[in-house]
Chain A
Amino acid sequence: MKGPQPHMEPSIARYIWTHTKKQQLWILMIVVLSMIPYFMSFDLPKLIVNGPIQGSGFEQPGATQPFMRLHYNLPFIGEVQFFSGFQLDRKETLFALSLVFLLLVVINGLFKLYINTYKGRLGERMLRRIRFDLVDRVLRFPPFYFKRVKSAEVATMVKDEVEPLGGFIGDAFVQPVLLGGQALTAMLFIVVQNFWLGMIAAVIVVIQIALIPRMRRRLIVLGRERQLTARALSGRVGEIVDGIGAVHVHDTSNYERADIAARLGLIFKIRFDLYQWKFMVKFLNNFLAQVTPFLFYMIGGYLVIQGRLDVGQLVAVIGAYKDLPGPMKELIDWDQARQDIQVKYQQVVEQFTAEGLIAPRIGALTIDNPDPMTNPLSAISLSIADDGGAMLLDRVSLQIKPGETVALVSTATDGAEALAEAFARLNWPASGRVASGADDLLELPESITGRRMSYASSDVFLFQASLRDNLLYGLKHAPLTSVPYDGAAADQRRWNIDEARRSGNPDLDIHSDWINYASAGATGPHDLFEAVRRVLDAVVLSRDILDLGLRSSADLTRHTELARRIVELRAALRTRLEREGLSGLVVPFEPGAYNKEATIGQNLLFGAAAGPELADRALAANPYFASVLRQAGLDRTLYEMGMEIAEQAIELFADLPPDHQFFQQLAFMSAEEIPTYKTLLQRLKNRPHEAVSEDDRAMIVTLSFAYIEPRHRFGLLSDELMSKIVAARNRFYENLPPELQNAIERYDPAKYIAAATVMDNVLFGRVGNNHPDAPDRIRSIVYDILDELGLYAELLDVGLDFNVGSGGRRLTGGQRQKLDVARVLLKRPDFLILNRPLAALDQRMQDKVLRNVLEEARRDGHSPAIVWVVTNPAMAMMFDRVIVFDSGKLVEDGTPETLLAGNGIFKELLS
């Protein structure tokens, strides 16, 4: 693979030519070759009409003509006959020539197909190359570049703005050659007929060539504006999405609406201007093309009258001129497209040109693990300025020895943070340097700094993926296994490699195992989990992940143990609850009994909905379910119950504003539905059950499904009703139609329910509603049992499947920071740089995690250097050495004890 160029080629034509010259020449050759059958097919109709149809050469009955005779007049040798041909009569010749015509049609079509496919593929490969080059550059931009670009703008450049390039690339060189050739031929023909008429045509063409592009300059300017405004729009839309919280908090949504409307107005104006100019230019172009025949008629006619030109010549000139405007117009269009593309390309290239691009070798792929970093890390007369030019660090020199634990403390300004960022290469020195031993740190490849050093800060970025993927992200440096492919997959893989190479993309296999197990102190997937568990324990995140695991439904293809041992688990929970006298907390599901703590809907279904057919609101409307209720004699009872609930709910809630917090207590309907139910109730009251429509009935019956007697206490549940419900449950499963078989998973004491959460599976029942602390007690008992049965790890693994959401926003700020620290710990680096990593946590938790991290990092005889920018000077007491910064200067450096003994800033900060 050829590496990307250090600077992007500013000219699109040269960029295309550099990467596709062989292909462009090949396609040009094919185009020229395709001309032969093309011209032959022009000549053939004349042969057919004159020969067999009009009978020329077949004047005598039974006369024959040779077909496919190959003979040439060669110079010096004279006529040579290669093949005397078949002798065919008139009809046979007609058929033979017509078939040849058909053959030529097919050949021309095939040529066209080949050329178009080839051009299209060429364009798509180039597009792939450009896009990859752009993203590759994003990966190599210096850190400060990202302070001034919006991610949505970069994304729209890579995705949308280079898109039209693909269509143009195939035509970039072929089109002008072809069209230019055609136009020139027509021109030449006219000149040969009559020099002066030829000159007239030439002058008009020259005017076209000179004038049209000049007028199009404005089009280009407008096109550039259109591109920039559209890009800015997508940047703003991205900002609104990212900052939606700020928009609502400050009531600025209308300000944003105004801003977007103003931008759209501007874009509209530019686009409309663009259209106006485009059609103006088109008009002029057409006019010039039409004016030439006018001149031919007038001047040519005059010459004919004068007798200086014969009529035949004039007709031939006018005939030949027909072939001139077509190619000319297309040529001018091509030129327009070229300029348009050039502008687009240039706009993009300008944005992707930055000083101080990271050299490709820094990020080069390295499979083998580098040697540990045994040299001290140092700052040598290091100065760092912020964007405003203020000095964050002012000529600081210091050295961090391997194995040392150092707390960085700063007073008001950010000196310590800047130093941590400099060690992490996220902030480049304004002067001086950071070094590892004698090497400039910025010159070391990322394969060393990214594996032997690690960095976490309070500003965490998580990818929208599972917790597991985010945690292991820091280990994915290189593809470590070669995946065996066979059959169609192998062909696909070969094709992938081949195409990647043709477009200058790397052919690294994303499906390979990228996880560097050795780095985490493991040997493979089987024992990695131990390391994961240890780091999660260290950052006190395990419990959160277990909770997530309990609340999510497990992927049974991955977590087979849970399903296999579910019976054992449920039994263990029962035994435990009995032993502790807590049996009353959970009412288990029993196939033949009504569960009072569950809703009526749950009691009827006695299963978990696995599809939309029987879930939530769809249940009451499901025809089969409704028929079961009818047969069980429940339809009228549940309808009346629903009416009662609707009445009670409306009486209780009708006066409250829709955003009232009490609505959280109303399980039957949402605040928005209250008015609907109010009118429904008025309409249905006193109407006999039979006269109520199916839809209305379902609306009312569905209310009863959410009812739990001990919680809602309306007094609507009788023993008779309960036994009827249990009977309906059995009837429901007896005749379950095949199309609903997969929509429901029946509760079975011996089976794991895939559609339910892990907690529901273990409980296999409902927690009593009238024990306020029951959920917490049950949860800690469940954890105990999972641990006893050796399923703790399995549950943690279920929790690790949790998708953290866009930017990790489904986690709390504290959880995100803990995860980031866990991620850097997992790598077991030689230098651990932590920049206020836990700022979102309270001080007690920060101290706890700090202690755990110091211990975990040194487990198994490891002794990494740890540099920690502390949020609270008291935390510094846990380190070997404390470095204090004040106004960008290093003011104190020593063990915490010596600094405390002195009378400096550190002591002052601590008191």
Chain B
Amino acid sequence: MLLKDEVGMLQRVPLFSAIEPTKLKLLAFTSDRVSYSAGQILFRQGDEGDAAYVILSGRADILVDSDSGPIKVAELEPNSIVGEIAILCNSSRTATVRAASPLEALRIRKDHFLRLMREFPEMTIEILRVLADRLSHTTADLIDARSAK
């Protein structure tokens, strides 16, 4: 996959959809293209968050540790971003991500990501919008869950 294809992929990620293609190209160029075989770990729960990943091809599982071993809580498909929470909040990873099939991803380093946010407010606003959106979904889910009790 070439740089220009990656830009196309990034455009399909909601977080980046409103960002100019030239900026996305820079983001893609300064990110590392990484590949994993099925079963390889992208990062582990509890690790320090140093990068976010955009899945280009393949699938990955999101796993959370529990007393009875890791539980799969979600699945990642191409065009999705993962790991951005930990680099925004300076916190450690809240889940483990494992490749479920041969996986290609773009690894966006934390300092690059933050630098881009600082330099391109439109991107920051977009990220805020997505996060706020998620928060309202989560809140709605919480209300549903409470009222279902």
Contact = CB atoms under 8 A, between A and B. Distances in A.
B19 to A, nearest CB: 14
A713 B26 contact: no
A596 to B, nearest CB: 13
A848 interface: no
Contact of B34 (A661, A712, A771): A771
A714 interface: yes
Given A653-B26, A772-B32, 4 more contacts: A652-B22, A652-B25, A713-B29, A715-B4
A181 interface: no
A662 interface: yes
A661 B28 CA distance: 15
Contacts of B4: 715
A710 interface: yes
A106 B109 CA distance: 84
A713 B2 contact: yes
Interface in B84-124: 107, 111-112, 115
Interface string A745-776: 00000000000000000000000011110000
16 contacts: A652-B26, A652-B29, A661-B111, A661-B115, A662-B26, A662-B112, A662-B115, A710-B33, A712-B3, A712-B29, A713-B3, A715-B2, A715-B3, A715-B4, A770-B35, A771-B35
Contacts, number: 44
Interface string A618-660: 0000000000000000000000000000000001110000001
A711 B6 CA distance: 13
A714 B3 contact: yes
B148 interface: no
A769 B3 CA distance: 15
Chain B CB within 10 Å — which of A712, A770, A772 has the most? A772
A665 interface: yes
A111 B28 CA distance: 83
Contact of B107 (A712, A713, A714, A772): A772
6 pairs of A and B residues whose beta carbons are closest in the complex = A715-B2, A713-B3, A665-B30, A770-B35, A770-B33, A662-B30
B34 A770 contact: yes
Contact of A713 (B6, B22, B115): B6
Interface of A: 651-653, 660-662, 665, 710-715, 769-772
A38 to B, nearest CB: 83
**Overall SS of chain B's interface:** helix
Contacts of A713: 1-3, 6, 28-29, 33
A665 B28 CA distance: 11
A771 B29 CA distance: 16
Contact of A651 (B2, B22, B34): B22
Given A651-B22, A713-B1, A713-B6, A770 B30 contact: no
Contacts of B29: 652, 665, 712-713
A769 B33 contact: yes
Contacts of A770: 32-35
A661 B112 contact: yes
A652 B28 CA distance: 10
Contacts of A714: 2-3
Contacts of A712: 3, 29
Chain A CB within 10 Å — which of B22, B35, B111 has the most? B35
Interface string B1-39: 111101000000000000000100110111011110000
Nearest to B3: A713
A523 B125 CA distance: 71
Contacts of B32: 769-770, 772
B34 A772 contact: yes
Contacts of A710: 33
Contacts of B26: 652-653, 662
A771 B6 CA distance: 18
B20 to A, nearest CB: 11
A737 to B, nearest CB: 39
Contacts of B3: 712-715
B39 to A, nearest CB: 11
A715 B4 CA distance: 9
Contacts of B6: 713
A581 B111 CA distance: 32
Contacts of A771: 34-35
A665 B3 CA distance: 14
Chain A CB within 10 Å — which of B28, B29, B34 has the most? B29
A712 B31 CA distance: 10
A577 to B, nearest CB: 15
A119 B83 CA distance: 81
Nearest to B22: A651
A665 B27 CA distance: 11
Interface string B64-87: 000000000000000000000000
Contacts of A660: 115
A653 B30 CA distance: 11
Contacts of B34: 770-772
B5 to A, nearest CB: 9
